[in-house]
């Protein structure tokens, strides 16, 4: 074994500084860690919304959650509201919490499906404390001591300012010993014998050598693509959006504890509430809408006047054919791009980092280790891809050519299998360690009109009256718990007020 000595992170932004902060925290000086970035290259900064998995990253960094929220102008997030996705006028929330409780060995949704066929089912949003609370703009953290109550099972994530997040992580990383080099990389040197990366050269002429390279250079993939020619899997036939415009506007009341995703004629618009402003963006397909029309739709649907010039982004949905190639691991936009519909961008950075730490190589870079890393990463990317595709495929909209294409397109076999199984009897099973749990799939399936033909036959063991009482108890208890929860804005003001941005 020849141990690693030097790790070089090429590029800053959220991905670069997340890597620098976590590796410096966990490795505690074991390796020399350097990050190269240029002040002349801006960050895209669309990753302002997260999912609950980010709490694992925060725990590994020993972050104080209230301080983290204050430093990043953060708000809390119970889920994502989807408007107009199945049909115009429809709305549902994909919440992060559990759905009701089990009865016997069956999930609560099977009993709901049976009651729904009889016309006796409650609003499905009332079956989860996350969705019921979100709709009333209420929030509190879960109470761990109340394991028998819905208040013990509130799942939450965060909205935050991406630029402030980068600044916050940079401070922690540099305090932990990370060296930052200012400058643009203009050359990458490969070993002529094995093709491994040996060094990068800055515009100043400085040569920086390392054993392990982490490419955080964005879409261009300075090392992984331009130097190593890794290749890219294009998924745009399933996810045809290829443009985005980001634009902030003033904060308005109420401060919603959820992200909003509103379907538009050729894509969708995001709304992310922060303490000091609201983040907005329009993701769309240039094949079905021109840039001027996309910007007009975005501006006309803001809560207030724009606070900055539009940030225009071009992308191709997909991933690198190998996220780990030779001695280079691609991270963030350099590894691939899945549109932020389910707020997975920050998660994929975190997930790849943790996977790298679990499979940390020595300087020999054993091929079995690299292959296992890529297998796990491919699986995660593909299953997240499938979940996002579902939002487009499961639609009854036919008002535009874009939505007709999405409704009629063929989807990956892995997704079609899930859809077929669900439509038969309402069954969904989480595979291996895929990101989205069964509750997530259930909410999107039902929210977008995919009501199964049947339900688990074991529901028939219970008389209708018992099923109705069971569902009524769930919604009644959740109603009492939501009534106890404070207003989201008031909760933020109490525990983590940020004040004016610096």
Could you read off the pLDDT of 53-90 as tens digits, one per residue? 999 999 999 999 999 999 999 999 999 999 999 999 99
Averaged pLDDT for residues 210-235: 97
Confidence label for 501 from pLDDT (cuts 50, 70 and 90):
confident
Instruction: Flag whether pLDDT at 452 surpasses 80.
Output: yes
Q: Which pLDDT value is given to residue 497? A: 97
Q: Which pLDDT value is given to residue 2? A: 85
Q: In this predicted model, what pLDDT tens digit does every residue of 9-24 receive, in sequence order?
A: 999 999 999 999 999 9
Q: Which pLDDT value is given to residue 220? A: 93
Instruction: Flag whether pLDDT at 228 surpasses 80.
Output: yes
Averaged pLDDT for residues 371-388: 98
Strands 267-273 and 278-284, by their bridges, are antiparallel
Q: Which pLDDT value is given to residue 451? A: 98
Query: Rounded to whole angstroms, how far apart are CA atoms 319 and 374?
Result: 11
High-pLDDT (> 70) share of the chain, % = 99
Instruction: Flag whether pLDDT at 41 surpasses 80.
Output: no
Q: Which pLDDT value is given to residue 128? A: 98
Q: Which pLDDT value is given to residue 43? A: 63
Instruction: Flag whether pLDDT at 47 surpasses 90.
Output: no
Query: Rounded to whole angstroms, how far apart are CA atoms 434 and 386?
Result: 11
Q: In this predicted model, what pLDDT tens digit does every residue of 235-254 receive, in sequence order?
A: 999 999 999 999 999 999 99
Averaged pLDDT for residues 487-491: 98
Averaged pLDDT for residues 232-236: 98
Question: Nearest 5°: CA angle at 340, between 373 and 310?
Answer: 130
Please name the residue that has the structure tokens 């009993």.
Answer: 111
Q: Quick check: pTM over 0.75?
A: yes
Q: In this predicted model, what pLDDT tens digit does every residue of 95-151 receive, in sequence order?
A: 998 999 999 999 999 999 999 999 999 999 999 999 999 999 999 999 999 999 999
Instruction: Flag whether pLDDT at 40 surpasses 80.
Output: no
Selected residue with higher pLDDT from 103 and 46: 103
Instruction: Flag whether pLDDT at 46 surpasses 70.
Output: no
Q: Which pLDDT value is given to residue 130? A: 98
Averaged pLDDT for residues 448-474: 97
**Cβ proximity of 8 and 210 under 8 Å:** yes
Q: Which pLDDT value is given to residue 45? A: 52
Tell me which residue of 279, 120, 392, 306 sits closest to 271, measured CA to CA: 279
Q: Buried (b) or exposed (e) across 379-406, using 16+ Cβ within 10 A?
A: ebbbbbbbbbbbbbbbbebeeeebbebb
**Cβ proximity of 321 and 233 under 8 Å:** yes
Q: Which pLDDT value is given to residue 99? A: 97
Averaged pLDDT for residues 320-347: 97
Q: Which pLDDT value is given to residue 499? A: 84
- How far is CA 386 from its chain centroid? 14
**Cβ proximity of 283 and 339 under 8 Å:** yes
Q: Which pLDDT value is given to residue 1? A: 75
Q: Which pLDDT value is given to residue 44? A: 57
- Those residues whose C-beta lies under 8 Å from the C-beta of residue 59, and which sit 6 or more positions away, are none
HSE-CB for 123 with a 13 A CA cutoff: 12
Mean pLDDT score of the chain: 96
Sheet arrangement for strand 259-264: 91-95, 79-83, 259-264, 267-273, 278-284, 243-246, 311-314
């Amino acid at each position: 074994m020849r141990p690693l000595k030097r790790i070089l992170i090429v590029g800053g932004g959220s991905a670069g500084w997340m890597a620098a902060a976590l590796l410096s925290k966990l490795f505690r000086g074991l390796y020399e860690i350097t990050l190269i970035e240029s002040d002349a290259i801006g960050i895209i900064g669309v990753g302002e919304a997260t999912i609950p998995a980010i709490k694992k990253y925060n725990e590994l960094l020993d972050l104080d959650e209230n301080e983290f929220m204050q430093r990043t102008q953060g708000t809390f997030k119970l889920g994502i509201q989807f408007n107009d996705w199945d049909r115009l006028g429809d709305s549902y929330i994909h919440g992060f919490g559990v759905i009701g409780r089990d009865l016997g060995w069956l999930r609560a949704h099977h009993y709901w499906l049976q009651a729904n066929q009889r016309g006796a089912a409650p609003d499905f949003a009332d079956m989860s404390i996350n969705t019921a609370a979100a709709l009333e703009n209420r929030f509190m953290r879960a109470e761990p001591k109340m394991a028998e109550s819905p208040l013990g099972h509130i799942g939450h994530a965060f909205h935050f300012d991406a630029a402030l997040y980068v600044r916050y992580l940079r401070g922690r990383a540099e305090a932990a010993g990370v060296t930052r080099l200012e400058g643009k990389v203009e050359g990458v040197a490969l070993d002529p014998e094995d093709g491994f990366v040996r060094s990068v050269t800055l515009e100043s002429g400085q040569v920086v050598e390392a054993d392990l390279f982490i490419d955080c250079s964005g879409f261009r993939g300075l090392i992984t693509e331009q130097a190593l020619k890794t290749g890219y899997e294009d998924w745009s036939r399933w996810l045809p959006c290829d443009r985005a415009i980001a634009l902030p506007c003033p904060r308005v009341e109420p401060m919603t504890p959820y992200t909003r995703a509103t379907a538009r004629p050729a894509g969708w618009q995001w709304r992310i509430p922060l303490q000091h402003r609201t983040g907005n963006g329009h993701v769309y397909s240039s094949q079905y809408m021109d840039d001027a029309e996309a910007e007009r739709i975005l501006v006309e649907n803001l809560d207030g006047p724009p606070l900055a010039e539009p940030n225009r982004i071009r992308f191709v949905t997909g991933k690198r054919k190998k996220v780990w190639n030779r001695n280079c691991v691609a991270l963030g936009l350099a590894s691939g791009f899945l549109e932020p519909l389910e707020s997975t961008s920050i998660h994929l950075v975190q997930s790849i980092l943790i996977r790298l730490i679990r499979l940390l190589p020595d300087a020999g870079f054993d091929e079995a280790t690299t292959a296992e890393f890529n297998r796990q990463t491919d699986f995660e990317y593909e299953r997240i891809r499938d979940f996002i595709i579902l939002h487009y495929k499961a639609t009854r909209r036919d008002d535009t050519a874009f939505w007709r294409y999405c409704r009629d397109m063929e989807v990956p076999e892995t997704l079609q299998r899930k859809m077929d199984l669900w439509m038969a009897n309402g069954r969904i099973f989480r595979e291996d360690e895929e990101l989205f749990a069964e509750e997530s799939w259930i909410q999107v399936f039902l929210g977008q009109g995919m009501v199964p033909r049947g339900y688990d036959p074991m529901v028939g063991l219970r008389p209708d009256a018992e099923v109705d009482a069971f569902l009524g108890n769930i919604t009644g208890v959740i109603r009492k718990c939501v009534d106890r929860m404070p207003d989201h804005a008031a909760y933020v003001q109490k525990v983590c007020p940020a004040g004016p941005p610096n």
